[in-house]
Amino acid sequence: MRLIILDRDGVINEDSDEFIKSPTEWSPIRGSLEAIARLHHAGWRVVVATNQSGIARKLFDLDTLARIHETMHRRVIETGGLIDAVFFCPHGPDDNCSCRKPLPGMFYDIAARLRIDLQGVPAIGDSLRDIQAAQAAGATPLLVKTGKGFGTVSHPDFDPSVPVYNDLYGAVTQLLTN
């Protein structure tokens, strides 16, 4: 069994500066659902790790987040894939929690719950904080240019040794051919 950790907004689904606040606003990025299906058929466990500060900002509640994730799960299943678990941080940027990326707390929680060492586990994100959280937890970060990824590549703190792919489908294709 192999594990992969995916960010949600900007990797699996289209991102929005206004937040994804309802199931109707959740829209998959072209090829992302097929990429998850390919991982599932190749025997990978797919876990999502996502900051959801819209909860702390009172833009949506936990029930709405659950409905958004139900939509995501249903669409992935309809495409032949499976997301094994979704981990999320409901806190805002000023809440001083340890689970909000770029801190690695959510990754440590994944490792503890799945009883797995994250060394070498690919973690795909589109933002600098996704990359930093993966690195801090000992996972192997990969960046996609979808979502905020195109801008992340040119950020002065971006580690140029991190592999960059156009999208999740491209990253998964590379992982499955290695």
**Is 9 tagged catalytic?**
yes
In DSSP terms, which residues pair with 140 in a beta bridge?
A: 122
From the candidates 9, 126, 130, 167, which is the catalytic residue?
9
Residue 120 φ/ψ region, left for φ over 0, alpha for ψ in the -120 to 50 degree band, beta for the rest: left
**Is 109 tagged catalytic?**
no
Neighbours of 1 (CB within 10 A): 8
Q: Which of 131, 169, 162, 139 is nearest to 34 (CA)?
A: 169
- Positions annotated as catalytic residues are 7, 9
